[in-house]
Structures are given as C-alpha cells and as structure tokens.
C-alpha cells in the first residue's frame, strides 16, 4: 500500500524527571535525549512500519537541526521530502515518573505548501500544512486527518475519510463542521468513540512514556481502514499500536511493527 504523510516536524529534547517542576522549583533529569518528532514524524514512522514504506512531505529549517532531522528520519525508514526554509521548530518534553509527557514548543510550525505530488497514493494522512495541500491530498484513495488542524480543514472543505480527535484535549475537539465518513475521538485509558460507539483501549503492561501514543494510534487506524479492514478490526489494531508506544522511551522505541 502506498502511503504518504503531510505534516510538521520539530526537534524535541526529552528529559526524564521525577515530576514536572512546580513554579520556582528545580528538578534533576535522570536521562536526556533529542531527536525529530512531532505529529508528522511519528505518524510517518508508524505507517512505514506497518506498510513497509511511507513518504513524508514536510518543511524544515535550513539549519543544523533541520539537517539532523532529515538524517534521523531517513534512518527510521521514512522517505523524506523536505521544503527548506526558516528555522526548525524545537520542543522540550518532560516525562515524569508516571510516563506522562508535558511539552513546551519554541517557534511556529513550518508547514509544507503546495504543489505536492500527492496523486496515486492509497493513503494520505494530513497532519498539518496549508489549505492548498489538503485539497491536493484529496486525490488519494483514502484521506485521514487530525482534528488539531480544524481551521485548515474548514478552509479547504473536502470529504475526509477518517478524522481523529480527542474527548479530553481542547486542541483536538471536533464540532461536527466537516464532511467526514468516520470520526474517532480518543479518551485515553478509556478507549474512545468511533462514530459515537464506544471502543476499548488495550492496557499497557508498563507505561514508560506516553509521547507519540496518540499519533501512532491514528496512523495504525488510518492504515487499517485504508487497506479495507472493518472498523472494529481497525480500532483493535490502532489500540495495540497506541499501547505499544507506551512501553518504551520516546516515540519510536516500541512502535508496533507490521
């Protein structure tokens, strides 16, 4: 299956801490790491693992972090197509003793713009980009998107096969304003709803790090639906993918393989 992702990448510095620092306090990190992440990168890596290949259309700064991001994403098996310009967005992520992540971003998303060669794909997952790119992405047989980009989705009204949002995150709420075939709203350990019907989560044996779990869930769900799985079967695969990420540090260490 030929898959592509359109979306942003940011250079993320991760720090494991006993707790997120309270105002005026200091915490000591037990470990640190840094690599490219963000919605576009995590979705693309999960799709590459499931489909055997995935292309990522993104934008990166013409700086060392941008070049390092391109190299690292390529090493993860992603075919990366970069529009260069500006300054690579950065983020700091605290991961506490319970595995919960708290993110601070620095700078605006660098958004891919058109024209992009998005014809002929079985699946395009629109994570972020300019409205013209979303219109081009509709050329795919199956189009998935995230409710994080609701203003863009409204600005380029196209039929969306899958929209993934959240019942808990205010930035991922969906108001019913689009033409969508399947709407999935996640609800953490409670699973979520798909077109209004409840589905269950897959409990993780150990929660090491929650970063990337939601994006991996979304990617696996889109993959399964695009290949023709029934909704219940697709949700089961997606729940396994989201749970798998929780067992390792960062977004890539324990993503579900095909």
- pLDDT band for 258, please (50, 70, 90 cuts): confident
Mean pLDDT of the chain: 96
Rounded percentage of the chain residues whose pLDDT exceeds 70: 100
- pLDDT band for 238, please (50, 70, 90 cuts): very high
What ranges do the domains of the chain cover? 3-22+30-246
Strand order in the sheet with 101-106: 31-37, 10-16, 90-95, 101-106
Mode of pairing for the β-strands spanning 160-166 and 90-95: unpaired
Local structure of residue 204 (DSSP, 8 states) = -
Q: What share of the chain is helix, strand, coil (3-state, %, to 5)?
A: 30, 30, 40
- For the whole prediction, is pTM greater than 0.85? yes
128 half-sphere exposure, CB direction, 13 A CA radius: 18
pLDDT tens track for 142-177? 999 999 999 999 999 899 999 999 988 878 889 888
Q: What's residue 176's pLDDT?
A: 86
pLDDT, average across residues 198-207: 93
Q: Which residue has the tokens 């620092």?
A: 21
Residues 6+ apart with CB under 8 A from 108: 89
Other residues' Cβ atoms within 10 Å of the Cβ of residue 218: 29
Q: What's residue 170's pLDDT?
A: 79
pLDDT, average across residues 243-250: 97
* Domain over 3-22+30-246 is classified CATH 3.90.700.10: no
Q: What's residue 160's pLDDT?
A: 98
Q: What's residue 256's pLDDT?
A: 97
Q: What's residue 147's pLDDT?
A: 95
pLDDT, average across residues 172-199: 94
**Rounded-to-integer distance, Cα 142 and Cα 51, Å:** 14
List residues bridging with 123 in a β-sheet. Answer: 3, 142
Backbone angles phi, psi at 221, to 5 degrees: -65, -45
Mode of pairing for the β-strands spanning 90-95 and 10-16: parallel
**Rounded-to-integer distance, Cα 248 and Cα 253, Å:** 5
pLDDT, average across residues 67-78: 98
More confident residue, 157 or 102: 102
């Amino acid at each position: 299956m030929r898959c592509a992702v359109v979306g942003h990448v940011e250079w993320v510095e991760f720090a494991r801490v006993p707790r997120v620092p309270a105002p005026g306090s200091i915490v000591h990190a037990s470990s640190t790491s840094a690599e490219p992440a963000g919605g576009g990168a995590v979705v693309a890596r999960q799709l590459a693992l499931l489909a055997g290949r995935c292309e990522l259309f993104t934008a990166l700064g013409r700086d060392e972090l941008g070049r390092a991001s391109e190299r690292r994403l390529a090493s993860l098996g992603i075919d990366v197509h970069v529009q260069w310009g500006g300054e690579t967005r950065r983020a700091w992520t605290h991961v506490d003793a319970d595995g919960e992540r708290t993110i601070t971003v620095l700078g605006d998303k660098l958004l891919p713009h058109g024209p992009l060669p998005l014809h002929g794909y079985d699946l395009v997952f629109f994570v972020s980009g300019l409205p013209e790119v979303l219109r081009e992405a509709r050329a795919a047989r199956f189009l998935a998107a995230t409710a994080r980009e609701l203003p863009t989705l409204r600005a380029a009204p196209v039929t969306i096969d899958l929209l993934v949002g959240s019942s808990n995150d205010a930035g991922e709420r969906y108001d019913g304003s689009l033409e969508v075939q399947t709407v999935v709203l996640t609800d953490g350990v409670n699973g979520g709803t798909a077109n209004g019907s409840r589905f269950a989560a897959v409990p993780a044996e150990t929660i090491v790090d929650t970063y990337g779990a939601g994006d991996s869930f979304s990617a696996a769900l889109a993959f399964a639906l695009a290949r023709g799985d029934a909704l219940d079967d697709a949700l089961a695969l997606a729940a396994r993918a989201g749970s798998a990420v929780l067992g390792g540090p960062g977004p890539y260490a324990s993503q579900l393989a095909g």
